[in-house]
Amino acid sequence: MNPLAPYPCQRLQSRPTSRREMLARCAGGFGAVALAALRSDPLFAGVETPVAGYAGHGPHHRVRAKNVIFLYMDGGPSQVDTFDPKPMLDRFNGKDPGQLFDMEPTQFNNTGSVLASPWKFKQYGESGLPVSDLFPHVGQCADELAVVRSMTSEFPEHTFANYFLHTGSGLQGRPSMGAWVNYGLGSESQNLPGFVVINGGLIPPGGLDCFGSGFLPASYQGSIFKPSGTGVANIQPIDADPQLQRQKLDLISQLDAEATPAFGEHDSLESAIRNYELAYSMQMAVPDVMSLESEPEHIRSLYGLDAKYEPTRIYGAQCLLARRMIEQGVRFVELTCPNVGADRWDQHSNLKKGHEDNARAVDQPIAGLLKDLRQRGLLDETLVVWAGEFGRTPFAQGKNGRDHNQYGFTVWLAGGGVKAGTVYGATDEWGYKAVENRAEMHDLHATMLHLMGVDHTRSTFRFSGRDMRLTDVHGHVIEGILQDDPA
């Protein structure tokens, strides 16, 4: 038996390769395989000749962010209780909002009185950015944030809004942001997927299709990881004995070598054969990236892995994993929320308890992530995005909850070329509707792509008679939150 080699099927690589194959192979990784499959498809006319080193169409302009970590705040955190303080709510607390401003129909149609935020706001850092007491740790990173207070969505229902936030369309079946990014830029990782969703426990309404590849090839689907154990499905060799699996892989390549000449030479078969090399290396890489024990103690506690509250530990592990994955070149990592027992950020009642629990789960881990990325010099090339699918009403639902509000809410971005310590846009004095520098989801998408070097109007895929885009026919880059280009 041969000594253990990283790629058991290497002998198959000795076959002569075409220029096209060569190009794909140099690009390496998962995106390359997908692209090889695409290019062997006569229909695939949309892709330009790839720039060396990139498997997708490649960047259109300067790349500020190589990776994205998307902190998805499932359920819709309340803007007026987090990053958008509104003193008017204190003044008019308990008053009938119908007497004060025009109200739109809401999902639950059970509107109560104006509800002041139960939390105090403090100004943090040099920027003096106000952050509520829900996020004392994130507050310490205020100078890293670009807070967009004028985000809007088109949908007040979770599922529509989730699809919209993730895919740029309110309907099911469109490619997720992470899929688009990998389609455009390819993955830099040789042995991990380019789009990973680390599921803390709550898959959002709308289900796994929030992370789908839609009409893009399946290779761009988000891979669902758990923050513990084996991480991802089917990664653990079914053969308990690693020696046996290697023998099997060896036999597979031997028999393939015997049988494939009868097919003639075809890219599709070549790619399928190479999949086994990638699968094998992935089997090794995943346990590697999953092994959080290897992190030093101070890092583990920075992320809250030693917290008393279990959801904090779970989210801490997710954040730490996210950092480890982008270090490995995973292009887009999304984190879903852990289950805090009550509900996701969807406090139709008991706002205080529910928001407190959800914030407690994510606050320290997020701050840990930002600090860790900063100290490693990774934050400048990693875009961190914090967003829910919508915000919440400044008036109560029932007595002590808040209903969905898509007319104005807050998201923030950090690192990856955004202007740190800024506030962009504003809601009205009630924190209800965006009135200044109103931003749309499409704008957020356009901006994220822009920071990754992609022109959102040029990253297209032809489907159903149209050149589809993440931003559909909309979207403007939010210039106001971009770092000034020194050049």
Partner 1 sequence: MTDPRPLLYVVLTALWMVSPALAEPPAAADSEPPAASPEQLEFFEKQVRPLLVEHCYSCHSAGADRIEGSLLLDSREAHLRGGDSGEAIVPGDPDGSLLMEALRYESYEMPPKGQLADESIAVFERWIEMGAPWPEEPAAAEAAPLETFDLAQRRDEFWVWQPITNPQPPKVQDTTWPQTDADRFVLARLEEAGLTPASDADRTALLRRVTFDLIGLPPTPEEVNAFLADERDDALERVVDRLLDSPHFGERWARHWLDLVRYAESRGHEFDNDTPNAFQYRDYVIRALNADVPYDQWVREHIAGDLLTEPRLHPEQGFNESVLGTGFWFLGEWVHSPVDIRKDEADRFDNMIDVMTKTFLGVTVACARCHDHKFDAISTADYYSLSGFLQSSDYRQVRFDSIEQNRKVAQRLAEIDTRFQAQVLDELRARDIVPPREAEPLDDPRIVVDYGKITPEQYLQDGFIFGLAPQRPGKPYLVASDARSVAGEDESGEDQSAAEETSGPVHIATVAAAVSDPAWSGLKSQTLGQVRNQSKLTKLPKSGRTLRTPTFELVDGRVDCRVAGKGHVIACVDSHRLVAGPLHGQTIVPIKADQRWVSMNLARYVGHRLHLEFVPAEDAQLSVQLVTQGMDADSRADLDRRLDARQEWYAQYARAAERFLNGGDDVHPLVGQWRDQRQQAAGQIVRESRLAPAMLDGTGEDDHILIRGNASKPGEVEPRHFLTAISGNQPMEIPRGSGRYQLAQEINDPKNPLTARVIVNRLWHHLMGRGIVPTTDDFGFLGQRPTHPLLLDHLAWRFREDGQSLKRMIKYIILSRTYQMSSQVDPVARQQDPKNLLWHHRPPQRLEGEVIRDSLLALSGRLDPKLFGPPVPIHLTSFMTGRGRPGTSGPLDGDGRRSIYISVRRNFLSPFMLTFDTPVPFSSMGRRNVSNVPAQALILLNDPLVAELAQGWAERALQTVPGDGPEATSDRVRWMYQSGFGRQPSDRELEIATAFLQQQAEASGGAGERVQSWATLAHVLVNTKEFIFLR
- As a whole number of angstroms, the distance between CA 184 and CA 59 comes to 8
Contact between 440 and partner 1 by CB under 8 A: the answer reads yes
Q: Contact with partner 1 (CB under 8 A): which of 22, 103, 279, 284?
A: 279
Identity at 189, one-letter amino acid code: S
120-159 residues near partner 1, rule: CB under 8 A: 150, 156-159
Among 127, 140, 260, 350, binds partner 1 (CB under 8 A): 260
CA distance from start to end of the chain: 57
Supply the minimum distance, in Å, between the C-beta of residue 160 and partner 1. Answer: 7
Asked if residue 341 binds partner 1 (CB under 8 A), the reply is: no
Q: Nearest approach, Cβ of 260 to partner 1 (angstroms)?
A: 6
Which residues in the 441-470 window bind partner 1 by CB under 8 A? 462, 464-467
Question: How many residues interact with partner 1 (rule CB under 8 A)?
Answer: 97
> CA 278, CA 122: separation in Å to the nearest integer?
49
* Choice between 57 and 174, CB closer to partner 1: 174
Q: How far is CA 70 from the centre of its chain?
A: 3
Dist. CA 193–CA 213, nearest whole Å: 13
Question: Which of positions 176-235 make contact with partner 1 (CB under 8 A)?
Answer: 193, 199, 201-209, 212, 214-219, 221, 223-224, 226, 232-235
111/382 with CB nearer partner 1: 111
Q: How far is the CB of 37 from partner 1 (least distance, A)?
A: 4
Binding mask 373-402 for partner 1 (x = CB under 8 A): ------------------------------
State the minimum distance, in angstroms, from the CB of residue 459 to partner 1.
16
- Regarding 479 and contact with partner 1 (CB under 8 A), the answer is no
- Residues 42-101 interacting with partner 1 (rule: CB under 8 A): 42-43, 100-101
Residue selected from 51, 429, 455, 483 as contacting partner 1 according to rule CB under 8 A: 429
> Does 278 help bind partner 1 (rule: CB under 8 A)?
yes
- Provide φ and ψ at 435, rounded to 5°: -125, -25
Whose Cβ is closer to partner 1: residue 77's or residue 222's? 222
Closest distance between partner 1 and the C-beta of residue 480, in Å? 10
Q: Please state the closest distance from residue 273 (CB atom) to partner 1, in A.
A: 6
Q: Does 10 interact with partner 1 (rule: CB under 8 A)? A: no
Contact 70, 385 (CB under 8 A): yes
Distance between CA 474 and CA 441 in Å, rounded?
Answer: 9
The distance of closest approach from Cβ of residue 105 to partner 1 in the complex, given in angstroms and rounded to an integer, is: 5
Is the Cβ of residue 150 or residue 312 nearer to partner 1 in the bound state? Answer: 150
Q: How far is the CB of 144 from partner 1 (least distance, A)?
A: 25
Q: Tell me which residues in 91-120 interact with partner 1 (CB under 8 A).
A: 100-101, 105-110
Q: Which stretch binds partner 1 (CB under 8 A): 114-122, 135-143, 171-179, 293-301?
A: 171-179
CB of 309 to partner 1, least distance (A): 21
How many Å is the Cα radius of gyration of the chain? 24
**Residue 132 vs 213, nearer CB to partner 1:** 213
- Encoded one letter per residue, x for contact with partner 1 by CB under 8 A and - for no contact, window 399-428 reads --------------------------x---
Tell me how far, at minimum, the Cβ of 271 lies from partner 1, in Å.
Answer: 4
The burial class, CB within 10 Å (0-12 / 13-18 / 19+), for 154 is: middle
Based on CB atoms, which residue is closest to partner 1, 12 or 449? 12
Our CB check for partner 1 shows the closer of 36 and 307 to be 36
